[in-house]
Structure 1
Amino acid sequence: LKENNVDLFAERAEFDDEHGVMAYNRTLQRPGKANQIRPMEEWIVAVGKHPGIIAGSDWGRVQAMLDVNKSKSYRRPRSNAALLSGLLRCDECGDYMRPKLTNRKNADGELIYTYMCSTKERSHGTVCSMKNCNGNTLDAKIIKEIRKLSADRETLTRLLAQTKKVISGSKEGYDAELALLREKHTETEERIKRLVESLSVASDTSAKYVMEQIDELHRE
């Protein structure tokens, strides 16, 4: 856990091979979307009062195996390919669809790449089952539509002017809202940390209510 920069709210001696651990902020939960596993550096871990189920040594070995396997099949296309990289999102879970190179070639002799949901790739299809899409075909269609716009310069000029006006008028409001959200996020994280710390002295009854508060703050 330390190697992955996890926030630990327990002393080393409390990891006694008898009690299980509780990990908070492990998943990103959004209404109508599949839960997404957060990076481990965002986790908050405390020692629980319940007996452990899986030995820590076994868990560590499994994590090491997952680290070795998770990106074995991923090949990034060359830099001038994958027009929608960083823009295309999965319709099932909301994560980014990133380009993945195959060993196959199309009729023009170009290597075929697909856009694949990052959550699907990391979970080996257990969390998200979104189908991959042919990147070469999709990008070609996008380019075709852009060329249509460029041929109609009057429409393109009008659209660009409208977009510039909207962005300019909204930026100040967005910046203010973003500042408030960041401040609220920091306050919420501090509240979660204080609640996690209180679990070490909480009774079984009160611990239940503290955990409910923590879960609510995570959703917030």
Structure 2
Amino acid sequence: MRFFIYSRKSVWSARGDSVENQVEMCRRYIAEKFGEGEHQIAVYEDEGFSAKDTDRPQFQFMLRDLYEQRPDYLICYRLDRISRSVSDFSALVEELARQGTALVCMREEFDTAKPMGKAMMYIASVFAQLERETIAERVRDNMLLLARSGRWLGGTTPTGYRSVQVRELVLEGRVKTACKLQPVEEELQWVRQLYAVYIQEHSLSAAHRALEMLGAHNRRGIPFTRMGVKAMLQNPVYCAADAEAHSYFTARGAAVCFDPQKAPDRGLLVYNKRGTGGRRQEVEQWVVAAGRHPGLICGGQWVRVQKILREEQPTIDRPGKQHNDYAMLSGLMFCTRCGQKLLAKKRSGPQREGQYDYICSSKLTAGTRHCDSQNLAGPATDQAVWQHLCGYLCARPEQLQTALRQLRREYIRQLPQSPAQLQREIQRAQTEIQNLVAALSAGNAPAIAGHIARQIEQLDRQVLCWQRQLEGQGQRTETAPVKREAARLLRRRRWLEDLDRRQRRQLMRAVVQRMDWDGEKLYIYYRGETGQENGGGGS
């Protein structure tokens, strides 16, 4: 028999429900219930992802493999490992039914191959989503309570401030310790100059150069990168808690917990800025409060900077600059002397057409006083590494097949849904809406009725999104070329030398984890293995 095992864990803990333990328990379940035969078992693991939606890498891979392989059973440890959303769960169950695959949740002992198991799964999924929404509300209430105190909750302190502990006297003589941000004047001068230059020049490059001239650096003594500069310009901690800031965040749906009349000189603190796995949340999820530190930039200027940053972002009508298409190893090499990436830089002059070097980014932005690592000649390094990679893959055909399968999945992931798929999804959602409307009219309790109404609203928005996507299908012309490209890449697994530069870059990133350059030798670290040395790329 053919089985799929799915495991998920949003946050690591020392409890026994890690993704590895979930998989092992599912394997034991298969052995006990279906015997010790030669079963085909495929495992999909998502670690660091919530069940609030199905936007999880391995979950999406599993859905695509369902169409191709049609397993007999999908096994999971618990129902909430799959989803806490009723609409997502019901869609999955219906799709599994169409494919002839039964879903088994071993902890609850639910089996959709049986009518009662299927009904109980639907009921349990309603309460799983209700639990998720209740937890989210409770966390947000705690955030709002913390926001009123203006405390710094820890983490990496922003440039311009240090974290200090303060002791406060509370009721009945008790002493409470909290943290607040304390200004570091030298660093605040860097930030002031940064905002002034950016407002005048509207250029991240100009602001970056201004910090270099001041000798500004991060806490590790390394000059700021362009991304670090942009992060400082976007950080609300420098913004004063005045009327302009209040209006800005209120208009964007954030929970604003300060009175601009009472704290116009204090800086802002943002709670709930990061979600599961450290991912940045949307502004409407933020809780914005007045901190205990002085603000640096008035709200009007800070809001103006955000507007300029938005205007400079790439759009469909005004695309941003593309990454270089000539250097095969861009983004993979690191300097062991300072820890920074090596960047590709073209050589100037008409006699040097097509020539480029890999240079340590710290050396490139701040000179040899920060890093004196030797440069690498680009074309020679690319060729030496590619020859080494070809020999490595020819000796390990299974590694090549794994990399090609990964590339194929990436190509498929980028394909738009077909009109037929969109029509099926729209029809399924409309049927579910009709069922929910019938349940709503049945006179349920207020709490359940509110839950059903939210589901209807969510499905209605999704249907509208699919309909718009369906209307725009005529404008998409890339599906066939992408499919042909994927097939061509798979056919050429024995002719690596015939791949073009773009295909080589894609294959390189699927096989190589990173490379370290120590100024004399280049060390290649393949995914899942120890480092391999390649000394042929030095200039």
Q: TM-score, normalised by structure 1?
A: 0.37
